[in-house]
Chains A and B, each alone.
Chain A
Amino acid sequence: MSIVTVQLGQCGNQIGFEVFDALFNDSHCPGGLCSKRENEAYQASCKERFFSEEENGVPVARAVLVDMERKVISQTLSKAARSGRWKYGQHSCFCQKQGSGNNWAYGYSVHGPRHKESIMNLIQKEVEKCDSLSGFFIIMSMAGGTGSGLGAFVTQNLQDQYSSALKMNHIIWPYGTGEVIVQNYNSILTLSHLYRSSDALLVHENDAVHKICAKLMNIKQISFCDINQVLAHQLGSVFQPTYSREGSFHYRRNPLGDLMENLVPHPEFKMLGVRNIPQMSENSLAYSTFTWAGLLKHLRQMLISNAKMEEGIDWQVRPPLSGLPPLGKMSVNKETHFNTSIANLVILRGKDVHSADVGAFKDPALYTSWLEPVHAFNVWKTQRAFRKYEKSAALVSNSQSLVKPLDMIVGKAWNMFASRAYLHQYTKFGIEEEDFLDSFTLLEQVIASYCNL
Chain B
Amino acid sequence: MEEGVVNEILQGPLRDVFDSKQLITDISGSGNNWAVGHKVFGSLYQEKILEKLRKSAEHCDCLQCFFIIHSMGGGTGSGLGTFLLKVLKDEFPEVYRFVTSIYPSGEDDVITSPYNSILAMKELNEHADCVLPIDNQSLFDIISKIDLMMNSGKLGAAIKPKSLVTSSTGVFKKRQEKPFDAMNNIVANLLLNLTSSARFEGSLNMDLNEIIMNLVPFPQLHYLVSSLTPLYTLADVNIPPRRLDQMFSDAFSKDHQLIRADPKHSLYLACALMVRGNVQISDLRRNIERLKPSLQFVSWNQEGWKTSLCSVPPVGHSHSLLALANNTCVKPTFIDLRERFIRLYKKKAHLHHYLQIEGMEESCFTEAVSSLSALIQEYNQLDATKSMPVEDLPRLNIAM
B213 pairs with A103, CB closer than 8 A = yes
Pick from B280, B304, B306, B392: contact of A411, CB under 8 Å: B392
How distant is the Cα of A72 from the Cα of B207 in the complex, in angstroms? 13
CB–CB B205/A72 < 8 A:
yes
Q: A445 to B301, Cβ gap below 8 A?
A: no
Size of the chain B interface, CB-CB below 8 angstroms: 44
Nearest residue (CB) in A for B60 is: A97
Chain B residue at smallest Cβ distance from A440: B396
CA distance A102 to B62 in the complex (A): 18
B249 within 8 A of A: no
Q: A257-288 toward B: CB 8 Å interface, digit per residue (1/0)?
A: 00000000000000000000000000000000
Question: Is B201's beta carbon under 8 Å from chain A?
Answer: yes
Nearest CB in chain A: distance from B90 CB, A? 17
Q: Is the C-beta of B170 less than 8 angstroms from some C-beta in chain A?
A: no
Across-interface contacts of A425 in B (CB, < 8 A): 212-213, 216
B146 within 8 A of A: no
Q: Which of B61, B216, B281, B283 contacts A224 (CB 8 A)?
A: B281
- Which of A10, A414, A421 contacts B217 (CB under 8 A)? A421
Tell me whether A176 is interfacial, beta carbon within 8 Å. Answer: yes
B180 within 8 A of A: no
B281 near A222 with CB under 8 A, answer yes
CA distance A358 to B398 in the complex (A): 38
CA A448 to CA B393, docked complex, whole Å: 18
Q: Are A415 and B300 in contact (CB under 8 A)?
A: yes
In the complex, per-residue mask of B301-327: 1 if CB is within 8 Å of any chain A CB, else 0: 111111101000000000000000000
- CB neighbours (8 Å) of A224 from chain B are 203-204, 280-281, 309
B218 within 8 A of A: yes
**Complexed CA–CA distance, A49 and B303 (Å):** 41
Min CB distance, A279 to chain B, in Å? 17
Give the size of the chain A interface in residues (CB under 8 angstroms). Answer: 52
Across the two chains, which residue of chain B brings its CB closest to A181?
A: B214
Q: CB within 8 Å of B: which of A154-204?
A: 175-182
Query: Knowing A102-B210, A411-B392 touch, does A181 contact B301 (C-beta < 8 A)?
Result: yes
Among B62, B215, B397, the most chain A Cβ lie within 10 Å of the Cβ of B62
Interface residues of B in 367-400 (CB under 8 A from A): 392-393, 395-398, 400
Residues A181 and B203 in contact, CB atoms below 8 Å apart: no
Give B203's nearest chain A residue, CB to CB: A224
- Bound-state Cα–Cα, A8 to B281, Å: 21
Q: Which of A175, A219, A448 contacts B400 (CB 8 A)?
A: A448
A431 within 8 A of B: no
Q: Are A102 and B214 neighbours in the complex by a CB distance under 8 Å?
A: yes
Residue B253 is within 8 A (CB to CB) of chain A in the complex: no
* Given A101-B209, A103-B213, A441 and B203 contact (CB-CB distance below 8 Å): no
CB-CB under 8 A from B218, the residues of chain A are: 420-421, 424
B270 touches A181 (CB 8 A): yes
| A72 cross-chain contacts in B, Cβ below 8 A | 201, 205
Q: Are A444 and B398 in contact (CB under 8 A)?
A: yes
B309 nearest in chain A by CB position? A224
CA distance A72 to B299 in the complex (A): 35
Neighbouring B residues of A416 by C-beta, 8 Å: 300-301
Q: Which of B282, B302, B304 contacts A222 (CB 8 A)?
A: B282
A221 and B76 alpha carbons, distance in the complex (Å) = 49
Chain B residues with Cβ below 8 Å from A103 are 209, 213
CB of B300 within 8 A of CB of A444, answer: no
Q: Are the C-beta atoms of B214 and A180 separated by less than 8 Å?
A: yes
State the CA gap A102–B217 with chains docked (Å). Answer: 13
> Is A35 an interface residue, CB under 8 A from the partner?
no
Q: Are B398 and A445 in contact (CB under 8 A)?
A: yes
Q: What is the CB-to-nearest-CB distance from A222 to chain B, in angstroms, rounded to a whole number?
A: 4
Say yes or no: is B288 at the interface (Cβ < 8 Å to chain A): yes
Please state if B285 and A175 are interface contacts (CB–CB under 8 Å). yes
Which residues 65-112 in A have Cβ within 8 Å of B in the complex? 69, 71-72, 75, 96-99, 101-103
Query: Is B207 touching A75 in the complex (CB atoms < 8 A)?
Result: no
User: Known interface pairs A411-B392, A414-B395. Does A227 touch B307 (Cβ–Cβ under 8 Å)?
Assistant: no
Taken together as a complex, chains A and B put the C-alpha atoms of A416 and B390 apart, in Å, by 12
B61, B213, B301, B395: which contacts A444 (Cβ < 8 A)? B395
In the complex, residue of chain A having the shortest beta-carbon distance to the beta carbon of B201: A71
Interface set of B (CB-CB < 8 Å, partner A): 61-62, 64, 201, 203-205, 207, 209-210, 212-219, 270, 280-283, 285, 288-289, 292, 299-307, 309, 392-393, 395-398, 400
Of the A-B pairs whose beta carbons lie under 8 Å apart in the complex, a sample of 7, sorted by A's number, is A98-B207, A177-B303, A227-B281, A415-B300, A418-B393, A420-B218, A422-B216
Q: Residues on A close to B: CB < 8 A? A: 10, 14, 69, 71-72, 75, 96-99, 101-103, 145, 175-182, 210, 213-214, 219-225, 227, 410-412, 414-416, 418-422, 424-425, 440-441, 444-445, 448, 452
Q: A177-B303, A414-B396 are in contact. List 13 more A-B contacts (CB 8 A).
A: A98-B207, A99-B210, A102-B214, A175-B285, A181-B301, A221-B283, A222-B280, A224-B281, A224-B309, A418-B393, A420-B218, A422-B213, A425-B212
